[in-house]
Amino acid sequence: MSGPGVYVSIPFCAQKCTYCNFRSDVYSRPLRSEYLNQLARELCRAEIAPGGTLYFGGGSPSLLEPQEFSVVSSNLPDGGWDEATLEIAPGEATPDRVRAWAACGIDRASLGVQSFDRAVARAAGRKHGPETVEAEIDRLVAAGIRTISVDLIAGLAHQTPATWSRSLEWVERLAVDHVSVYMLETDDDSRLGRELRSGGTRYGAPDVPSEDLILDLYLEAVERLVAIGFERYEVSNFARRGKRSRHNLRYWTLQPYLGFGSDAHSFDGHRRWSNVSTAPEYVERMKTAGSARATFEELGPEQLLEDKVLTGLRTRAGVRFDSREWRKVGPRAEPLVAQGWLVADGPSLRLTDRGLLFADEAIADLLA
């Protein structure tokens, strides 16, 4: 049996993007150094079975210099990963860093491109152009990191149908293996989200596309990606054959995973727990208490069923329920089947193409 998925949180950024609602930030070098030391300590204490998946997320793990990356990676199992992914902010994949990632066994890169248009990227807090992304992908592939994924966001400031179309053209031109397409979230956890909700004018808020246009851009991406050979296997994720994210599939199918670092979450099939949210809190808790754990919860049947629906229904494969679960979920699914959002096949449910557009609403109705 393979080991768990392992998520390593590197919550550091060169600059905070306007749309970002993650618990990452621009921190001082001394804090970064202490955080990495405490993260290495947490990893060293863990018993991680081999053969699982590895994912460095953030923040920007690609911001770390090779010696900093080694502080963390040297405390992980030596190779043998089913898949090992690193998130990369374009402009940070220097030759020395790429060599360090490849030497650690990283075989999959996820580039947070968001837009291939310079003006759109700059307004969001990114500094790259399409040529930077192209050059870094070539560098990664030459080093042996051959599975490439890019993220795009529909709804950024100054985005138009023309700039979005050019971004999709670059995806096709670069022949990447995986694409994640997200619609802009406007919550209070990002600077741009707060500005939009308050009616402000900073961060390009007046130039954010309308909700209708954002949906049109998203649907265009779905159509064009499928047309060039991508399979849509989750609401926001598209892959070429054999290139699905095995690590993320663990979350969506409730397989065990372990999280290390700030704001990292873990699940063993029956229990879930999490660490404190921010890097300063993490360092303080590790130094004073020897553990950064903030929450711990034993999961009963109802909570596991809720998690099963929340995660699994977002995949194209959908969810298969046992007889007890189906007695609860089946009657609630009937009106959603009638309105064309769900397909029922025995005690199984999956979202239709139309239903995928209303995944959050469908899931809420099933869990009412």
Task: Give per-residue pLDDT as tens, 146-177.
Answer: 999 999 999 999 999 999 999 999 999 999 99
Q: What pLDDT was estimated at residue 161?
A: 97
Look over the chain and give the mean of its residue pLDDT values, rounded to a whole number. Answer: 94
Q: Report whether 11 contacts 59 (CB < 8 A).
A: yes
Domain 301-366 in CATH 3.40.50.150: no
Question: What is the 8-class DSSP label of residue 278?
Answer: S
Q: What pLDDT was estimated at residue 29?
A: 92
Q: What percent of the chain has pLDDT over 90?
A: 83
For every residue of 61-115, which 3-state class applies, written as one string?
Answer: HHHCCHHHHHHHHCCCCCCCCCEEEEEECCCCCCHHHHHHHHHHCCCEEEEEEEC
Compare 61 and 185 and report the one with higher pLDDT: 61
Strands ordered across the beta sheet of 83-88: 231-234, 237-239, 178-183, 147-154, 108-114, 83-88, 53-58, 5-10, 257-260, 265-267, 271-275, 293-298
Q: What pLDDT was estimated at residue 253?
A: 95
Task: Tell which residue, 121, 184, 178, 120, has the closest CA to residue 151.
Answer: 178
Q: What pLDDT was estimated at residue 310?
A: 95
Instruction: Report how far residue 140's alpha carbon sits from residue 180's, in angstroms, rounded to the nearest whole number.
Output: 19
- Please determine, for residue 35, whether its predicted confidence score (pLDDT) is greater than 70: yes
Q: What does the pLDDT look like over 36-47, one tens digit per residue? A: 999 999 999 998
Q: What does the pLDDT look like over 263-288, one tens digit per residue? A: 999 999 999 999 999 999 999 999 99
Instruction: Report how far residue 38's alpha carbon sits from residue 42's, in angstroms, rounded to the nearest whole number.
Output: 6
Q: Report whether 206 contacts 199 (CB < 8 A).
A: no
Q: What pLDDT was estimated at residue 215?
A: 94
Instruction: Report how far residue 134's alpha carbon sits from residue 113's, in angstroms, rounded to the nearest whole number.
Output: 11
Residue entry with tokens 């990191």:
145
Q: What pLDDT was estimated at residue 186?
A: 81
The HSE-up count of residue 306 (CA atoms within 13 Å, CB side) is 8
Q: What does the pLDDT look like over 315-357, one tens digit per residue? A: 999 999 999 999 999 999 999 999 999 999 989 999 999 999 9
Where along the chain do the CATH 3.30.750.200 domains lie?
Answer: 5-252
- Please determine, for residue 1, whether its predicted confidence score (pLDDT) is greater than 80: no
Instruction: Report how far residue 77's alpha carbon sits from residue 58's, in angstroms, rounded to the nearest whole number.
Output: 20
Instruction: Report how far residue 273's alpha carbon sits from residue 42's, in angstroms, rounded to the nearest whole number.
Output: 15
Q: What does the pLDDT look like over 86-127, one tens digit per residue? A: 999 999 999 999 999 999 999 999 999 999 999 999 988 888
Which overall architecture, per CATH, does domain 5-252 show? 2-Layer Sandwich (3.30)
Instruction: Report how far residue 123's alpha carbon sits from residue 197's, in angstroms, rounded to the nearest whole number.
Output: 18
Instruction: Report how far residue 58's alpha carbon sits from residue 141's, in angstroms, rounded to the nearest whole number.
Output: 22
Q: What pLDDT was estimated at residue 26?
A: 77
Q: What does the pLDDT look like over 227-265, one tens digit per residue? A: 999 999 999 999 999 999 999 999 999 999 999 999 999
Task: Tell which residue, 256, 268, 244, has the closest CA to residue 316.
Answer: 244
Residues 6 or more apart whose Cβ sits within 8 Å of residue 199: none
Q: How confident is the model at residue 189 (pLDDT cuts 50, 70, 90)?
A: confident
Where along the chain do the CATH 1.10.10.920 domains lie?
Answer: 301-366
The HSE-up count of residue 352 (CA atoms within 13 Å, CB side) is 13
Residues 6 or more apart whose Cβ sits within 8 Å of residue 246: 53, 82, 83
Residue entry with tokens 């596991």:
304
Which residues, listed in sequence order, are joined to residue 257 by a DSSP beta bridge?
5, 267
Compare 186 and 74 and report the one with higher pLDDT: 74
Q: What pLDDT was estimated at residue 23?
A: 75
Q: Report whether 292 contacts 285 (CB < 8 A).
A: yes
Strands ordered across the beta sheet of 348-351: 319-320, 348-351, 342-344
pTM of the model: 0.95
List for the chain the helix, strand, coil content (%; round to 5).
Answer: 45, 20, 35
Interior angle at CA 183, CA 182 and CA 184, nearest 5? 115
Q: How confident is the model at residue 55 (pLDDT cuts 50, 70, 90)?
A: very high
- Please determine, for residue 192, whether its predicted confidence score (pLDDT) is greater than 90: no
Instruction: Report how far residue 273's alpha carbon sits from residue 33's, in angstroms, rounded to the nearest whole number.
Output: 25
Q: What pLDDT was estimated at residue 187?
A: 80
Instruction: Report how far residue 8's alpha carbon sits from residue 206's, in angstroms, rounded to the nearest whole number.
Output: 36
At 266, list the tokens: 């873990």
Average pLDDT over residues 137-152: 98
Instruction: Report how far residue 25's alpha carbon sits from residue 15's, in angstroms, rounded to the nearest whole number.
Output: 7
Q: What pLDDT was estimated at residue 47?
A: 87
